[in-house]
Amino acid sequence: MSALIELEDAYGKVSRDPQFKDDLTAFLAEYAGRETPLTFCPNASQELGCKMYLKREDLVHGGSHKLNNTLGQALLAQRMGKKRLIAETGAGQHGVATAIVGAALGIPVEVYMGEVDTRRQALNVFRMELMGAKVIPVTSGTRTLKDAINEALRDWVANVRDTYYLIGSVVGPHPYPLMVRDFQSVIGREVREQVMKKEGRLPDTIVACVGGGSNAIGIFYPFLSDKVELIGVEAGGEGIETGRHSATLCAGDEGILHGTLSYLLQDENGQVLPTHSVSAGLDYPGVGPEHAMLRDNHRVTYTTVNDPQVLDAFRFLSKTEGIIPALESAHAVAYVMENADRFDRDDIVIINLSGRGDKDVAEVAGMTGRA
């Protein structure tokens, strides 16, 4: 608790500090490659019958939106005088983004990763190690993302004096959900300016995938008070009725995990349930508390798509636009494909393409029997 109070104070200070903002903006521009394009997709638009745009977070250095957050938090850790960064990772994208900032800022990094995930995302393990991070496979519990968070929290309480815990999504105890949302909101702020420039109006619909929910809140947040439809797409896995999914907001109920009251996938006694998704990055039984609020007040619509639809979307975007989406982001693409008849030809639909799919290519090839 003391560590969280220290973090809240430190974050309060830097968020009022123009120098911090300048440092972060410079890093985002010169190092991360922001702003990212808002790409119009002529072929997909033609096929789906709407004006489809992609917010290209796949082009952020490292291959996903994760660096927006790790840069912000690592600069904060540096100001707090912390000597070591620890992180959890599911698909490995957040681990990679943490390894990147560790190397760039000269801070040692250790990443906890579920043993199951180290196998299905071996390429990202190699990338992290290449950049000098130490990857620690987690063998407790379900050996996936939630267990990696458990281990990182345990490490943090043991080494709290010199260690900064760099959480990768809008989950965990306050102030993490707020801080990560702030750092990711750069996505939505850019979209707003870009769409006004290109179309002269706000979009009709914005679609993003939701695991913990950081890319979604990042693109939604600047539009919360506008007349823009916001859709969060959760991992339906093999189907909600099978129980093998990660659809926390669509199929979970109120619960507390990792210091957050939110929705949770749990059994009748409050034990946290194992999750399933074709994409390791959505494989989390909780969800950011702000999403829980946006669900309850009906500002955002949350829905699911299942693994086969996601694989179709993965292939569709690759083929029509030459852009291979991360399996996580392919959930948002799949939603638009499944609901194409809802949109008119002039409707502006923006998909947050939160990451690129190179990391998933081998696994998808394996699944479809093609190497």
Partner 1 sequence: MGRIEEVFAEGKRPAFIGFVVAGDPDKNTSLRIARALITGGTDILELGVPFSDPVADGPTIQKADERALAAGTTPDTVFDIVREIRKESEIPIVFLTYYNIVHHRGIERFYHDAHDAGVDGILIADMPVEEADEICAVASRSGIDPIFLVARTTSDDRIVKIAKKARGYLYLVAAFGVTGVREEISAGAIDLLHRVRRHTVLPLAIGFGISTPAHAQICARAGADGVIVGSAIVEIIERNLQDTDVMDRELKNFISVMKTGLI
Widest pairwise Cα distance in the chain: 56
Distance between CA atoms of residues 76 and 143, nearest Å: 30
Minimum gap (Å) between residue 107 Cβ and partner 1 = 20
Please list every residue from 316 through 335 that binds partner 1, using CB under 8 A. Answer: none
Minimum gap (Å) between residue 5 Cβ and partner 1 = 8
- Between 250 and 264, name the residue whose CB sits nearer to partner 1: 264
List the one residue from 22, 254, 296, 358 that touches partner 1 (CB under 8 A). Answer: 254
DSSP for 80-106?
Answer: TT--EEEEEESSSHHHHHHHHHHHHHT
Does residue number 81 form part of the binding site for partner 1 (CB under 8 A)? Answer: no
Residue 351 contacts by C-beta under 8 Å, 6 or more apart in sequence? 52, 53, 54, 55, 206, 207, 208, 329, 332, 333, 336
Phi/psi zone of residue 73: left (φ > 0), alpha (ψ -120 to 50 degrees), beta? alpha
CA dihedral 367, 91, 128, 171 (to 10 degrees): 180
Minimum gap (Å) between residue 197 Cβ and partner 1 = 45
Does residue number 137 form part of the binding site for partner 1 (CB under 8 A)? Answer: no
- Tokens at residue 283, please? 């494989």
List the one residue from 14, 48, 257, 334 that touches partner 1 (CB under 8 A). Answer: 257
List the one residue from 116, 148, 191, 264 that touches partner 1 (CB under 8 A). Answer: 264
Active site residues: 41, 65
x/- site string to partner 1, residues 30 to 69, per CB under 8 A?
Answer: ----------------------------------------
Q: Which helix (H) or strand (E) holds 337?
A: helix 327-338
- Tokens at residue 268, please? 């009748």
Does residue number 83 form part of the binding site for partner 1 (CB under 8 A)? Answer: no
- Between 43 and 159, name the residue whose CB sits nearer to partner 1: 159
- The one segment of 12-20, 105-113, 187-195, 252-260 that binds partner 1 by CB under 8 A: 252-260
Q: Which helix (H) or strand (E) holds 205?
A: strand 205-209
- Tokens at residue 346, please? 């002039």
In DSSP terms, 235 is beta-bridged to 305
Distance between CA atoms of residues 313 and 303, nearest Å: 16
- The one segment of 61-69, 152-160, 236-244, 355-363 that binds partner 1 by CB under 8 A: 152-160
Q: Which helix (H) or strand (E) holds 122?
A: helix 122-130
List the one residue from 29, 130, 256, 367 that touches partner 1 (CB under 8 A). Answer: 256
Q: How many residues bind partner 1, per CB under 8 A? A: 28
Does residue number 159 form part of the binding site for partner 1 (CB under 8 A)? Answer: yes
Minimum gap (Å) between residue 17 Cβ and partner 1 = 24
List the one residue from 229, 259, 339, 361 that touches partner 1 (CB under 8 A). Answer: 259
- The one segment of 29-37, 92-100, 262-270, 299-307 that binds partner 1 by CB under 8 A: 262-270
Does residue number 279 form part of the binding site for partner 1 (CB under 8 A)? Answer: no
Residue 288 contacts by C-beta under 8 Å, 6 or more apart in sequence? 169, 170, 171, 177, 181, 212, 213, 214, 217, 260, 262
Does residue number 12 form part of the binding site for partner 1 (CB under 8 A)? Answer: no
Q: What counts of helices (H) and strands (E) characterise the chain?
A: 16, 12
Name the residues that contact partner 1, by CB under 8 A.
Answer: 1-3, 5, 140-141, 146-147, 150, 153-154, 157-161, 254-259, 264, 266, 269-272
